[in-house]
Amino acid sequence: MEKKTVGTSVIVLLALIQGVLTSIAVEVKPSVNPATAGNTVTLSLSPSTAIKSGSWAVGESVILTWIGEQQAVFPSHAGRAAVNILTGALTLSSVSVVDSGVYVVQGSDPQLQASASITVVETISNVTLSVNETNLMEFNGSAVVKCSVSSGSSLSFLWMNGSSEVTASDRVQLTDGNSTLTIVNVTRYDRGPFMCCVLNPVSNGTSDALNFTISYGPDNMALTVNGNNSTSFSVGSNLTMLCSAQSNPPALLQWAVRGELMNTTGPLLQLFSVSEDQSGPYSCLAFNNHTNMNSTITTKIVISKSGSEQQAVSVWLLPLLLLNVAEQLRFTVNGHTLLCTSPAHSQSIHASENPIQVGSDVTLYSQTEVTTGVWLSADMGIIVFIFSGNVMIDTDWKDRVTFNSTTSSLTIKSLEVGDSGVYILEAFNSFRANLTLSVQVPISNVTLKARETNLVEFNDTAVLMCSVSKGTSLSYVWMNGSSVVTADGGAQFSNGGATLTIAMVTRHDEGPFKCNVSNGISHEISSPVQLNISYGPSNVTMTVMPMRHIHRTGSNITLMCSAESKPQETIQWMVDGMYLNQSGPQLNLERVAESNSGNYKCLLHNTVTSRFASTSTMIMVLDPLASVVVNQTGGPAILHKSFTMCCEVVGSVDRIQWWKNGNLIYADNTTDFSMGNKTLTLNPVQQSDNGHYACQAFNYVSNMTSSPFMVEVSYGPYMPTIMGPNAAKTGDNVTLSCHASSHPPSTYKWFFNGSNVANMSKYCTPPLTKDMSGKYICEAYNNVTDKNSTAYTMLTVIDPITAVQIEASMNLAIEGHYYNLTCNVTGPADHVYWMKNGEPLHEDNSTVISKDNKTVSFNPLAYNDTGYYKCMAINAVENMTSLPYMLLVNFGPKKPIIQGPAYAETGRTVDFECSAKSMPPSNFTWWFNGSEVANTSMLTTGPLSLTMSGEYTCVAYNAVTGKNSSNSKMLKVVEAITSVMVQNTSIPINNENFTLTCVVTGPYDKIYWMKDNMHLNMNSSMEAANMSYHIQNNMLHFTPVTLYSDGMYQCVAANEAAHHNSSSYMLLVNYGPLSVKILTPDAIVFGIPVSLKCYADSRPECDFYWFVNNQSLPEITGSEITFTPLKDSNWSYTCKAMNPVTNITMYKTKTFTIGHASTLIPSQGSLMLMGLFALSATVLFD
């Protein structure tokens, strides 16, 4: 065979699965089929199989794949599909109609393939009918009814007219998959009710009933005389003529005699005591104003003394009679007269059973009692005639009919099939109602036969014939399995639905077929008939395991070919057009080599259908890679130069890619690939190119990655960095450190004044002298890059600072005078800094620092210049701070501040305290009316008099500054308030006026009142709501006083000097009694003392008096009375409660009755008898 090379990369999902695998047989079983839309479907494997890697697909679309526990769900089924790797089962949630199809599972470990078809059906909902017109004319209109659903799929439609199935005929058409019913030239029997039944494998639904109003007639007229067909009568007879016609709406009836219209309308014509001159042709004319049609019936009546035979109306008279009647009827209708109009009321009749089995009895019921009227059969004429309570039954019906005059119901016995038809009840000049009765024979022995059962798909036609031994009004429904068979392009019904013909059968027409025959009273289903349909081969599939397009040499390959075929197809294998000595559904290629590459085809043949089919696939076999190594070309990787690596591969290579530190490398302006990616060049090399490099080689059956190759970029040295001081003290040792970025690390040398002083990165000096100040140079050298780099640092050697102190002026520091501070430093100082109280000292308009910062001048000195001062001397190697110097500024005194009252009462003493800011502290003297009264800061007066009012002056003096300062305070002495008290002149009684008086000794400016330590607020809303009071001069008036007035009251008298509070006055308002109660024990037993206690709500407590049985004098005083109740007695106890302060009296009475007691006396130890005895005494209280 010719070897072929595949030039493109094929990414196969399961390309990593290798080794020898074993194929197993499984079957896919859906959890439900067909499935309902929106539900969850699980496709399980039988037997349950754990698949390590595989895929599920529907048709050509992959649903998901998995390897181990990792699943990849394709976007079309994201969130709806999952596989159980332990069982291989696929679960689909929220399925829809579009999910219908053939589901295929393929596994590579173990090898398997299986499929199953599922159908998703949407549930039927809201079956509705739409119609073009409901009011139609018989033989002159067509009805088109369309059946639709809001939701549902895979629909089958079944139409019902009442209890009968509607089938296609010359007038009845079923189109649009049976969803549209068309009735051409409707008849009166097409009124309905029509219903549409919609079915699918998971649900069904039925529409509401639809009725047509079909206008027809008048026709089928009947005319009887005296209830029979007699036409000859004797003179003096009474004649009753009854006329009927089939018509909707009911026809207008008009009577005529000898061609002349009579003044009689309606179905009844009555003639009394007839004479010979009343002989002649009598006609009943019927007119329907909807159909605009008329009809007539005539009978010849002969009146004689002996009677004669009925004769037909003269031929020449009838056309004239019809013409005249028709014209008058039309004139009457258009002229809006009532000549031909009979009353019409909405009435109905119903049957005890309809449809009904032959041989049964039926009763036809009326909603209304009929006293004058007729029961008619549209096909057989009058059955019963009712007139003025008299009933006449036609002789043809006499043996089988009974009439109930109370209910006007009609009973027909031993029904025959011929009794089917329209039955009419007409009440003369009132109403007309009709009913269609169906008498049917039960169905029996339904048989289904097929003309031929062995058929070939797309070639043959199936003919199925359904028959019954007995039955009438038959309706046929055909079933294929659980689905209803409907007429379409392939299936047709004939012979009233009894024959099903399926042209060009398919494999789905095998059945089982059943015939369901029904009428209104019974139904029966035939035994199933199964067709044997040969088909295929079709839907050919070939599966290659492992699932790859290119295979590794030495592996095993299995090709499996399958198709849908009946009977089983034969399979022959070919490669590159040459037959292999191999047949059957499976071809095994073991330990394949590259020579096994080629185009493999399976050829399938069905010996019954004589049909062929085939499918093919391309198999490629390739050797795997043997080794992959990375080597460098040229010298080492040096920064900013070029560096090249080469990938050396043993084996056929399709593609090479490079990795660095686990990341894929892409070409850029410094990275270049050549020789089919075998060579990687870094130009120029960058410091970031450090890392582990690897190359990976691919062919279609393997890939291999080299061991890591370490790339270290050599660079530097960059300019060194020197660490160390720039200045140092004489006598110290200094260490200088040098470092330069470099790979590999550099070597170092130190130079001073042109001499090499060290050969390492660190240089430590000997003890420093001033002549060792100067430039120190560091040199770094890289022996790989052959580069060097230098840097230097300057070192200054300085003597140390030994002392720092502050020197002050010799004069005293006094506010407003000149003063300075000097910083004396021993040793070299570059800078001097001043601090006050630990903070840097800054110049202002009175504080000046000299140019060399050594002197601070204060001009003038202020008292806030007081503080601790330091100076700090700094040079390049150290700093030193002086000890703190305390500067204390003498100042003052400032203007004194006097603390003390402005007003005081006679007889009191007053304290005045004087203070002034001063350093050192001042001495104080007090002066009043030009005389010194004290020489301390505190002045305490003696008992005050009115003459001691005036100005008090304090003088402060500082002996250091020689300054003084003074301030004054005015004191006014007023006459003292010596007494404040609250008095009342009456007793506070609830709801009476009451006054409190504030009595004050001494002059005052104002008086105010307090209650419960709170100012008595005249504007308080709460107080205003519960209390009514006002203040007048020194009196507080309650108008009136209430219980809300209770509280602790004080009056306050105030002058300029003080507020004086009275002693507290407790106001308790006397009230009541408000209510009286008598407290009694829970149980009272005669012979045992009883205590009643009287209680009253009152302040103060009431005096109590007890009166027994309405006596005039009290029985006892006090709140409690005790007595011993006697049997068979009635007692009344009254408590009188009197408040001695308010003089209010209230009474409360308690009455009780002790009934007849038991004669049983409790003995010792008989607790139960004692309880019964106690319960036997009944006490009644009011």
Hey, how many other C-beta atoms are within 10 angstroms of the C-beta on 282? 25
User: Residue range 353-362: average pLDDT?
Assistant: 90
The DSSP letter of residue 227 is T
Alpha-carbon span 1001 to 1004, nearest angstrom: 9
Indicate whether 335 pLDDT > 60.
Answer: no
User: Residue range 119-136: average pLDDT?
Assistant: 91
User: Residue range 839-861: average pLDDT?
Assistant: 92
Give percent of the chain with pLDDT exceeding 70. Answer: 91
Bridge partners, 702 (sequence order): 699
* Confidence (pLDDT) at 346: 58
What DSSP element (H or E) covers 785? Answer: none
User: Residue range 909-923: average pLDDT?
Assistant: 92
Bridge partners, 895 (sequence order): none
Per the omega criterion (within 30 degrees of 0), is the bond before 546 cis? yes
The residue behind tokens 């009918």 is 129
- With cut-offs at 50, 70 and 90, classify the pLDDT of residue 1160: very low
User: Can you tell me whether residue 1044 is helix, strand or coil?
Assistant: helix
Indicate whether 211 pLDDT > 60.
Answer: yes
The pLDDT tens digits for 1015-1027 are 987 664 445 457 7
Higher pLDDT, 1003 or 1177: 1003
Indicate whether 465 pLDDT > 90.
Answer: yes
The pLDDT tens digits for 147-203 are 999 998 888 999 898 878 888 888 899 999 899 999 988 898 888 899 999 988 888
User: Residue range 274-302: average pLDDT?
Assistant: 90
CA nearest neighbour of 1178 among 1128, 1131, 1132, 1111: 1128
Q: Decide if 787 contacts 776 (C-beta within 8 A).
A: no
The DSSP letter of residue 1173 is H
Q: Where are the beta strands (DSSP E) in 272-309?
A: 280-288, 293-304
Global pTM value = 0.35
Residue 304 CA from chain centroid, whole number: 96
- With cut-offs at 50, 70 and 90, classify the pLDDT of residue 1095: very high
* Confidence (pLDDT) at 1025: 58
Q: Decide if 335 contacts 266 (C-beta within 8 A).
A: no
- With cut-offs at 50, 70 and 90, classify the pLDDT of residue 343: very low
Burial class of residue 525 (count of CB atoms within 10 Å of its CB; 0-12, 13-18, 19+): middle
The pLDDT tens digits for 704-728 are 999 999 999 999 999 999 999 999 9
CA nearest neighbour of 1062 among 1003, 1018, 1001, 1016: 1001
Indicate whether 22 pLDDT > 60.
Answer: no
Q: Decide if 366 contacts 374 (C-beta within 8 A).
A: no
Alpha-carbon span 841 to 201, nearest angstrom: 103
The pLDDT tens digits for 640-696 are 999 999 999 998 888 899 999 999 999 999 999 999 899 999 999 998 999 999 999
The pLDDT tens digits for 577-632 are 888 888 899 999 999 988 888 999 999 998 888 888 899 999 988 889 989 999 99
User: Can you tell me whether residue 600 is helix, strand or coil?
Assistant: strand
Indicate whether 1157 pLDDT > 70.
Answer: no
Burial class of residue 514 (count of CB atoms within 10 Å of its CB; 0-12, 13-18, 19+): buried
The pLDDT tens digits for 1038-1062 are 999 999 999 999 999 999 999 999 9
* Confidence (pLDDT) at 1019: 60
The pLDDT tens digits for 766-798 are 999 888 899 999 999 998 888 999 999 999 998
Indicate whether 317 pLDDT > 80.
Answer: no
- With cut-offs at 50, 70 and 90, classify the pLDDT of residue 310: very low
- With cut-offs at 50, 70 and 90, classify the pLDDT of residue 836: very high
Bridge partners, 1099 (sequence order): 1071
Query: To the nearest whole number, what is the mean pLDDT of the chain?
Result: 85
Indicate whether 10 pLDDT > 50.
Answer: no
- HSE of 196, CA atoms in CB hemisphere, 13 A: 27
Alpha-carbon span 354 to 902, nearest angstrom: 123
Q: What does the block give as tokens for 551?
A: 């295979």
* Confidence (pLDDT) at 369: 83
The DSSP letter of residue 826 is E
The pLDDT tens digits for 494-504 are 888 899 999 88
Residue by residue, DSSP assigns 717-773 as ----EEES-SEEETT---EEEEE---BSPPEEEEEETTEEEESSSEEE--S--GGG-
